Each structure stands twice: as C-alpha cells, then as structure tokens.
Amino acid sequence: MNNIEKLRSEILAQIAQASDLKALDAVRVAALGKSGSVSALMKTLGTMNPDERKTQGPLLNALKDEVTSHIAARESVLQESALVAQLAQESVDITLPARPQQNGTIHPISQTINELVRIFAAMGFTIAQGPDIEDDWHNFTALNFPPGHPAREMQDTFFLKDGGHLLRTHTSSVQIRYMEQNKPPIRTICFGRTYRSDWDMTHTPMFHQMECLMIDTNVTMAHLKGCLQDFVRAFFGIADLPVRFRPSFFPFVEPGAEVDIGYIKNGDAIALGRAANPADQKWMEVLGAGMVHPNVLKNCGIDPDVFQGFAFGTGLERLAMLKYGIPDLRTFFESDVRWLGHYGFSPLDAAA
Ligand code: PHE
C-alpha cells in the first residue's frame, strides 16, 4: 500500500469513528488544516518533477476531495443524531394532567359597580370621585347639617385625631365637591368607601355606597322616581319590580324619601318581585333619596331659584347581597379565597 492509500484509509477510519461534531472537527483539522497530513502531502507537489507531479497530482486531489466529502457526510449524520438526542431530552409528556390553574375573580362589589356604571352611563351620567378622608364642611356642614344638629350623631362617625377631619360617613360629600367644581347641568354618579362605627350581621365599619346627583333647570320628583325605578328594575333584571317611596328625613334633601323594593316571602326564602296577591307584598328599604335642599345648592354657589335637582344614595353590598344571594355582609371583607371563588365573577364575563 502506498503512502496515499495508507493515509486515505486512516483518515476515513477516523472520520467513521468520530462520535461527535467536536471529534470530527479534530479529524478535519488533522487532515486538511494548515499543517494537516493531507495538506503536507499537497505541499510535496511543488518539489516533484513534472512527470511525478502528473501522476501524483490527480491522486492527491482525489484524496483531498474524498476526505472533504466524507467529513461533510459524517457531519450531517452527527448533526442529525445530536438533534434527535436533544429532542428526546426536551420531550414533553403530554399524558401528564395539567397543573391546577389559580384563576382570580372579580369581587362582587367590583362587579356591582361595573353593572351600575353601565346602567347610568346609558342614562348619560358621568362618574365623579372624592376622598375617603373628609372635612366637616363636605361631610356635614355644606350638606345642611348645622353644628350640633342631632342628625350628625346618627352616623357613628370616625373622627381623626387632628380634630378637623373624619372618615366620610356617606358619599353625599362628593355631591358638594362636584358642585363646587362643576356647574349645572349636572348628571353624575359616584362610588366609594364609606365608614361608620358599627359591626354586626348587617353592618361593617367600612362599606360602599353609590351616590347619584342630577341638577338642571326643571328637574322634578317625577324625574327622581323615573330614574330610580328604571335603575332598580334594570339592575335586578325584573321588569315590573315594585318600587315604593316613603317620606323620610335627610338634612340635605327636601322632600326626602326612603325607597323600598317589593319582595315575596316563601318560607325562609325571599324573592324580589311583585306579589300576585297584594296582601303578600313585602317591602325592603334599599335607598335614600330626595330633592336637593336649596341650602345645599347655595353652599355650592348654585342659585336655587334657577336650579333644582335630585340625589340618592344606596349601599352597594346590600344591592350585591340581594342580587347574588350572599347572606352575610361581613364575608365581603374577609378576603377568603374560597368565598371569592364562589361569589366572584370571571374577568371575561360581560357586565350584565
Ligand atoms: N347619604 C344618605 C345615607 O348615607 C343617603 C342619601 C343620599 C339620602 C342622597 C338622600 C340623598 O344614608
């Protein structure tokens, strides 16, 4: 076997044995690299006489080509097996059960707010906001609670130690803030936290209210009744839900009313709606309402001889409990994920 033959079989054997791309590259460098064995042989061509070169030249070139093509072929085999090995290692077992997914839910209060926004936006109301920490003027005085008026005591107010501030006892304070900043015509609603020092089955020290305010040049009690009736019927989804107004007192409205909706008692269960027999009709209070008192308008720089309007306020937990059958108010604020999972709403549910 001549030199070329020997070298050829050695290199081809090394190529065949290269077990990975790194080993194959080492073989390539050793054969075809600058000081590789094949390259060294090629260099000897220059020292040969023409006859020798004529016979050796084609042989060496053929050797070089053969080594090159064997390396390329081996390379693609090794690349493929490297890919197969990688895929095998990264494979996913699709028969495994899916990991349990923890979905968050929309709190019933947020859901209720979303539903109310829809109803009132359709009636042309905007959304107003005010601070939780209020001063006496916005929570009481401007709302026609004179200093020392007994109605101030009805609200179990949390006073701040600074002597000047308190936690708002109702969202009616936002009426004042809104009318100080905006002049009629006014159609606005407000949602927010309110605070009273109270704690039992039906009272928590923090709860949510919605306030509604409409002021224009010829607003009457009929507008108030129509607006309220449409709102509760749309909210509860009961087209003939009975609505009743009872005279009541709030310093900031005149006349003032409490608003009841009708329900029927079925053993221990209650169902909102109209009783077939009027004698079976029961009522529950859901709202305070009335025509804005002229003093309140004056306190906000609005002329009561030109403008009038109505206001009402309601508790959001109460509305949510009635609509969604939630029995205990306190559970709203316990942040129990089981409760939230049960009573919460999917983020993708459209507001009803
Ligand atoms: N602010 C009153 C309350 O908290 C509700 C109310 C609002 C009454 C607007 C009349 C008008 O009880």
Residue 91 lies in a domain: no
HSE toward the beta carbon, residue 343, CA cutoff 13 A: 26
Q: Which residue, of 27, 51, 86, is where some domain finishes?
A: 86
Same domain, 8 and 135: no
Give the residue numbers spanning the domain of 337: 108-343
Which CATH number belongs to the domain containing residue 230 in this structure? 3.30.930.10
- Is the Cβ–Cβ distance between 195 and 158 less than 8 Å? yes
Q: Is residue 152 pLDDT above 80, yes or no?
A: no
List, for residues 240-272, the tens digit of each pLDDT value: 999 999 999 999 999 999 999 999 998 888 899
Same domain, 152 and 58: no
Residue 321 lies in a domain: yes
Same domain, 50 and 145: no
Same domain, 137 and 76: no
Residue 103 lies in a domain: no
Same domain, 118 and 227: yes
* Beta-sheet strands, E only, within the chain: 126-128, 133-135, 165-167, 186-195, 206-216, 243-248, 253-266, 269-272, 282-292, 308-315
Please provide the average confidence, as pLDDT, over all residues in the chain.
93
Per-residue model confidence (pLDDT) at position 350? 60
Whole-Å CA distances, 39 to 24, 60, 77: 17, 9, 25
- Report residue 40: phi and psi, to 5°: -60, -40
Same domain, 35 and 170: no
Same domain, 168 and 300: yes
Looking at residue 20, the DSSP 8-state letter turns out to be: S
> How is 305-336 classified by DSSP, letter by letter?
TT-EEEEEEEEHHHHHHHHHT---GGGGGS--
What is the tally of structural domains in the chain? 2
List, for residues 48-60, the tens digit of each pLDDT value: 898 888 988 899 9
Kind of pairing between the strands at 186-195 and 206-216: antiparallel
List, for residues 37-89, the tens digit of each pLDDT value: 999 988 888 898 988 889 888 999 999 999 999 999 999 999 999 999 898 88
Instruction: Give the closest residue (by CA) to ligand 1 atom 8.
Output: 288
Same domain, 288 and 231: yes
SS3 198: coil
- Give burial (CB, 10 Å; 0-12/13-18/19+) of 212: buried
Same domain, 181 and 232: yes
Residue 197 lies in a domain: yes
- Ligand 1 atom nearest residue 257's Cα: 10
Q: Is residue 352 pLDDT above 60, yes or no?
A: no
Same domain, 8 and 126: no
CB under 8 A, 24+ apart: contacts of 35-41: 37/7, 37/11, 38/7, 38/11, 38/63, 38/64, 38/67, 41/3, 41/4, 41/7
* Residues 52, 57, 61: CA angle, nearest 5 degrees: 160
Cα 148 to its chain centre, rounded Å, is: 44
Instruction: Give the closest residue (by CA) to ligand 1 atom 7.
Output: 313
- Classify each residue of 274-308 as buried b or exposed e, where b means 16 or more C-beta atoms within 10 Å of its C-beta: eeeeeeebeeeebbbbbbbbbbbbebbebeeeebb
- Ligand 1 atom nearest residue 292's Cα: 11
- Ligand 1 atom nearest residue 194's Cα: 4
Same domain, 167 and 310: yes
Q: Which residue, of 86, 121, 139, is where some domain finishes?
A: 86
Question: Global pTM?
Answer: 0.73
Instruction: Give the closest residue (by CA) to ligand 1 atom 12.
Output: 288
Same domain, 180 and 250: yes
Residue 101 lies in a domain: no
Distance (angstroms) between ligand 1 centre and the Cα of 314 equals: 7
How far apart, in whole angstroms, are the C-alpha atoms of residue 64 and residue 47?
19
Distance (angstroms) between ligand 1 centre and the Cα of 272 equals: 23
Distance (angstroms) between ligand 1 centre and the Cα of 172 equals: 6
Residue 93 lies in a domain: no
The pick from 140, 155, 167, 170 for probing ligand 1's pocket by mutation, whose C-beta has the most ligand atoms within 8 angstroms, reads: 170
Distance (angstroms) between ligand 1 centre and the Cα of 345 equals: 28
Q: Which residue, of 55, 86, 117, is where some domain finishes?
A: 86
HSE toward the beta carbon, residue 76, CA cutoff 13 A: 5
User: Which residues sit opposite 259 in a β-bridge?
Assistant: 245, 287
Residues lining ligand 1, Cβ inside 6 A: 170, 172, 250, 253, 256, 288-290, 311-313
Q: Is residue 140 pLDDT above 80, yes or no?
A: yes
Q: Is residue 231 pLDDT above 90, yes or no?
A: yes
List, for residues 301-336, the tens digit of each pLDDT value: 999 999 999 999 999 999 999 999 998 888 999 999
